[in-house]
Structure 1
Amino acid sequence: MTLKKFDTSRLRVLPLSQREHDLDLSVLADLRPTPAVHPSLARVGGKILRARELGASVILMMGAHVIRSGVQRYIIDLMERGYVTCLAGNGACAIHDFELALIGRTTESVAKYISEGQFGLWRETGLLNDIVADGVAQGWGVGESVGRAILDGEYPHKDISLFAAAHRLGIPFTVHVGIGSDIVHEHPNCDGAAWGAASYTDFLHYAAAVETVENGVVMNFGSAIMAPEVYLKALAMARNVAMQQGREICRLTTLVCDLRNLPEDVSAEPERGSADYYFRPWKTMLVRTVRDGGESYYVRAPHDESIPQLWTGLGKQE
């Protein structure tokens, strides 16, 4: 039996100039201290300072809404000052960062364009497929491929690109994709094997960062599935090797910032069968992976509040 495949050559791909955008550069916030800092973010700031002193990893994982919230300047400044040693995101992070760097606009109306059969099918965004395929030939992951392309190419707004900044500073920005979950996978020029190889390379870069997370910090801003799942597997790999070497990776701090209503005490797993039990950041990042000597914090706040507060709290403790 021969299974039928969709012929992507039939697709109509239009230029970004014909797309209505929901976000532009006006969403970007300037660096400005916040009037108050959440106590948990202040404590995590202290942990980041200690991690930097000890040479431990400080990993910032994110969903794509972080980029859409306009906090790029805060994150870039944290990287430049040595407070973040690894960024990790999903494929949508690369898409929004790329579009903002290229045209200063991003985000389409799903409701509008899915009705028109045009959602995601925009010519310039599809260039990411070529960038990743070219990078794989050099042995690069998604993050390095995108960061190099933006930093070295003709991108008018590269100064606010997290990928370009990470590459400029020699900091890994690892991208963890699920084939079919990003709009660029719709395009006729998409090479699934290239994306798979590049994302796996990034996973290994991420796991290498986790190897030095003893006394370090792992933060998750708005990723309900990718961040906790990738972190869990990488930590298992790092602990496997550490135990063979007579080392431990147990004294670390985790932070989750999201909008879900959680109880004040998140030190115990939610009851099995409850809806909260299936919120992976809680049981994975806040409980299971720190129960042998680590600490965890949860802050309920939008990203345009939590990240500026973290930045402000660090500045007060320097």
Structure 2
Amino acid sequence: MRTRTLGSTGPAVSALGLGAMSMSGVYGEADRVESIATVHAALEAGVSLIDTGDFYAMGHNELLLAEALRGRDRDSYRLSVKFGMLRGPGQEFGGMDGRPEAVKNFLAYSLNRLGTDHIDIYRPARLDPAVPIEETVGAIKEMIDAGYVRHLGLSEVDAATIRRAHAVHPVADLQIEYSLISRAVEAEVLPTLRELGIGLTAYGVLSRGLISGHWSPGHTGGPGDNRAFSPRFASGNVEHNLALVEALRRVAEAKGCTVAQLAIAWVAARGQEIVPLIGARTRERLAEALPAIELELTADDIAEIEKAVPLGAARGDRYPAAFMSGLGVGN
């Protein structure tokens, strides 16, 4: 497995990371045994970056990872944890809490659930509009100084917020959605990251399976699949978006790879500071994704890919309307 460094101050990690959210029911019921086997397969393949959030099924994901990672050398992997998203007992979202005292409280619970004495990269999941980012970051800096956190990360914030946070403590990386059909980061955020020496961990590189090459109209992950509420999967939009995937499939076939591999490779090719996160919850999907990092794309390949899926060609927002206001950038 190749490695990349998250910014000028962050850790060296595998060139592909594993996003664990889908192992906790967000896209329909997941198989616990298969999820753990997938984590093990990722580690054995050299994947060293694992991303989670304390609000993924209210701690379920952290407990699952603790089980999967038990007995492993703690220096052999890096844990990236998002915090601050408030949930109710019915799994409804209740906003963000970025107060310094809340930061330390969330961290204490995550350390306990994960069964570890430190988090490698700790980041607020979204910006709390009621709390200056300097205060939230200041609390994380205290936890870094105390040894409970190794590096500061951010998630889904704009360029101005990145600068303000970085002035308090060096930011290792920004986690944000980035894919062939979600390219808003390219305008201001990505240039800012490069200027400041900050890495980018890209989630949603397959747009929640939409551009994986495995989705079809009417498909569903079953009860609990949140894609039922996603504008890009809505009737009228999904057909248009899947037509883009079919155009991409023709490019992939000519390249001798799968659609998913081509979409992942495109994100990885955007820069050495970018680490795509693969949201695989089965060993089969992980095995398909891993070769993407070895796929070399020429300038002609990239031109063909972007001709198949032009900038701004997708229909529908990347989140339901209620969640779009909390994002630093749009689609």
| TM-score greater than 0.5 by the shorter chain | no
Greater per-residue helix proportion: 1
TM-score by length of 2: 0.33
Of structures 1 and 2, the one scoring higher in RCO (CA 8 A, sep 6+) is 1
Larger Rg: 1
